[in-house]
């Protein structure tokens, strides 16, 4: 079943002349983890903002979880979607951690008794309950993004959209955020749409869509996309380590397989190569 369906989408920003999207089509399956990659300015952020109804298309049809997106249905659509944005500071509305998690619940007019339970559960889920009364200045970027995730978890959406949500974090912060997302995707079967330049984040996906200039230029499983090696940089993705190593091995006149290998796959392949000798 498709949870998001975009048909013949056309969009341009008012101040711009060229179309950002022209007759654009995309279907996203329920429970799927879709990574959207592309260099800066390729239209990735615009696309997810259109899905969430934060921008209005000129023409075309967007359906989210069976609801056709219209000015009337936009709030229903948004209740199905949780979004985490790039800058951890600029989406922290509450004065402290628990207030921030409660913000979305207050908007949804959830009764207070229920809120108390959901805020606590969501914060425990992301490992931030002990920080419930901390102000945002006393948190790291990774902690703030986890609070943002708790705010989403508390609202029980069907889709999580990550708009470069880990790009401003240090490696530990990035890991902790990704771990939570993996669990939400695998255990709760939430659909994940993640915009990213990070290979580790993209490698979690079941499907990768490469955008360029508002068009889908590739749509495939990660292994196929990653096998492009160094040229991945041009489409806004850091090449995987195994691909970089392959290129250096070629320079050493070692024959390497064409298909993409994970790190473990690469070690296995080398081991076989050595044992043949």
Partner 1 sequence: MGKVLLGRYVPGDSIVHRMDPRAKLILSFFFIVIIFLANNWQSYVLLFALTIGSILAARVNFAFFIKGVRPLIWLILFTVLLQIFFSSGGTVFWRWGPFNLSYYGLINGAYVFCRFVLIIFMSTLLTLTTAPLAIADALEKLMMPLKKIKVPVYEISLMLSIALRFVPTLMDETAKIMNAQRSRGVNFGEGSIMQQIKAVVPLLVPLFVSSFNRAEDLATAMEARGYRGGEGRTKYRVHYWQTGDTAGCAVFVIVLIILLFLRHW
Partner 2 sequence: MAMAIIFKAVNYTYQPNTPFEQQALENISAEIPTGSYTALIGHTGSGKSTFLQHLNGLLRPTSGVIHVGKQIITPETKNKQLGELRKHVGIVFQFPEAQLFEETVIKDIAFAPKNFGKTEEEAETIARRMAQQVGLDDELLSKSPFELSGGQMRRVAIAGILAMEPEILVLDEPTAGLDPQGRLEIMEMFKRLKEEQNLTVVLVTHQMDDVAKYADNVIVLEKGKQIASGTPSEIFAQPNWLVEHHLALPKAGEFALEFEKKTGYKFATLPLTEVSLARQIASLLHGGGVHHG
Pick what 52 binds: partner 1, partner 2, none; C-beta below 5 to 8 Å, kind-dependent: partner 1
270 binds, among partner 1, partner 2, none (CB under 5 to 8 A by kind): partner 2
Residue 66 within binding range of partner 2, rule CB under 8 A? no
Pick the closer one to partner 2 by CB: 114 or 248: 248
What is the DSSP annotation of 133-200?
T--GGGS-HHHHHHHHHHHHHTT--SEEEEESTTTTS-HHHHHHHHHHHHHHHHTS--EEEEE-S-HH
> Which of 242, 248, 237, 245 is CA-nearest to residue 262?
242
Query: Least distance in Å: CB of 41 to partner 2?
Result: 6
Take residue 106 and report the two structure tokens written for it. 């207050």
Please report, to the nearest 10 degrees, the dihedral formed by the alpha carbons of residues 91, 52, 8, 59 taken in order: -90
- Residue 172 binding partner 2, by CB under 8 A: yes
Residue in the block written with tokens 């360029």: 212
Interaction mask 129-158, partner 2, x per CB under 8 A? -----------x------------------
Task: Using alpha carbons, select from 137, 139, 158, 144 the residue that is nearest to residue 63.
Answer: 158
Site map for partner 2, 82-111, x if CB under 8 A? Answer: ----x-------------------------
Q: Which helix (H) or strand (E) holds 216?
A: strand 215-220
Per-residue string for binding with partner 2, 204-243, x by CB under 8 A? ----------------------------xxx-xxxx-x--
Site for partner 2 in 252-271 (CB under 8 A): 252-254, 263-264, 266-268, 270-271
Q: Which of 260, 246, 269 is nearest to 208 (CA)?
A: 260
d(C-alpha 48, C-alpha 210), whole Å: 14
Contact residues: partner 2, CB under 8 A = 39-41, 86, 140, 167-168, 170-172, 197, 232-234, 236-239, 241, 244-245, 247-249, 251-254, 263-264, 266-268, 270-271, 273-274, 277
Contact residues: partner 1, CB under 8 A = 49, 52, 54, 75, 78-79, 81, 83, 85, 87, 89-96, 98-99, 102-112, 115-116, 119, 135-137, 151, 155
């Amino acid at each position: 079943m498709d949870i998001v369906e975009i048909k013949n989408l056309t969009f341009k920003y008012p101040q711009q002349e060229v179309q950002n999207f022209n007759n654009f089509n995309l279907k996203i399956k329920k429970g799927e983890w879709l990574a959207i990659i592309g260099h800066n300015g390729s239209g990735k952020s615009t696309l997810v903002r259109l899905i969430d109804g934060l921008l209005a298309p000129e023409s075309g049809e967007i359906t989210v979880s069976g609801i056709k997106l219209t000015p009337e249905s936009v709030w229903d659509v948004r209740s199905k979607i949780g979004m985490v944005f790039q800058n951890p500071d600029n989406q922290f509305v509450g004065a402290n951690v628990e207030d921030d998690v409660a913000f979305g619940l207050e908007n949804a007019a959830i009764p207070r008794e229920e809120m108390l339970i959901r805020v606590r559960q969501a914060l425990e889920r992301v490992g931030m309950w002990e920080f419930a009364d901390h102000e945002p200045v006393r948190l790291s970027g990774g902690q703030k993004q986890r609070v943002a995730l708790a705010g989403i978890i508390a609202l029980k959406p069907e889709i999580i959209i990550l708009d470069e949500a880990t790009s401003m974090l240090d490696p530990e912060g990035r890991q902790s955020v990704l771990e939570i997302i993996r669990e939400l995707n695998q255990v709760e079967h939430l659909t994940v749409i993640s915009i990213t330049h990070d290979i580790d984040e993209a490698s979690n996906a079941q499907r990768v869509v490469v955008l360029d200039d508002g068009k889908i230029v590739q749509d495939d499983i990660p292994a196929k996309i990653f096998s492009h090696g160094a040229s991945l940089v041009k489409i806004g993705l850091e090449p995987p380590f195994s691909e970089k190593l392959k290129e250096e091995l070629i320079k050493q006149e070692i024959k390497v397989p064409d298909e993409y290998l994970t790190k473990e796959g690469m070690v296995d392949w080398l081991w076989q190569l050595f044992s043949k000798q």
